[in-house]
Structure 1
């Protein structure tokens, strides 16, 4: 690791009530609709865990319990790798508007290029979530 940057907060403003944003983002079954870095296809529930196929292979996902605070923290455990903690929040910033805040924590094996790549991927996924949340209802 050549940079001193150990974490990066990636944000996306959304024209949507935070509770609606939280409800969609907290639904693991909806991850394939916007989280390309976390789920390439349908997830399978296994008790309090979810099994997913990610761009890096199969992984076990666990999510923070449903809450009234907008906390979407989760843990991702790719096969053969210890679980990675992922802090994620939906914060109401104004009536009908919220901010998605995702904290990318640099992992010990990440060089600057991998860290920047992950940050770009997360920003792209948050823009996809924004588009989904701001799309007109059918």
Structure 2
């Protein structure tokens, strides 16, 4: 039976608090996670992202001291997806870990594609944070 999820991680040479402080701000999504979407709007307390699937609403975990960046994505179809995302200390730097979950009917190829898109987003986050110290 194929795995139902895959952890994608990136080591970032910045303290976990710095990575969290940047990634927790939804306004930065389009900069580091264009795999999710390319335009972010904050309307009446809700965050929306323009994606290839249309405009989605994204609900984030409350700010916390544990590096939890979990979020739910609500598609225009009414489907919702829970996405675990964590920033954890790793030596003098940190590691950011995203759990890519297999959805019903998703092939191994589709899961690989999604994991690759997440890896590219996390690599972009690393580049932004390590370049703009």
Structure 1 runs not aligned, ≥5 long: none
Q: Which whole-Å CA distance do the structure 2 matches of 1:136 and 1:41 have between them?
A: 21
* Aligned structure 1 segments of 4 or more residues deviating by more than 6 angstroms: none
Q: C-alpha deviations, 1:9-68, integer Å up to 9, x for none?
A: 000000001000000000000001110121211323332x31110122211100000000
1:100 to 96, 102, 125: 96
Q: C-alpha deviations, 1:88-124, integer Å up to 9, x for none?
A: 00000112x0001000111113111111100000000
Task: Indicate the RMSD between aligned Cα atoms, in angstroms.
Answer: 1.2
Name the residue aligned to 1:62. Answer: 59
For the Cα contact (< 8 Å) 1:87–1:103, is it kept in 2? yes
Name the residue aligned to 1:79. Answer: 76
Q: When the two structures are superposed, what TM-score results if normalisation uses the length of structure 1?
A: 0.91
How many residues are aligned here?
133
Q: When the two structures are superposed, what TM-score results if normalisation uses the length of structure 2?
A: 0.94
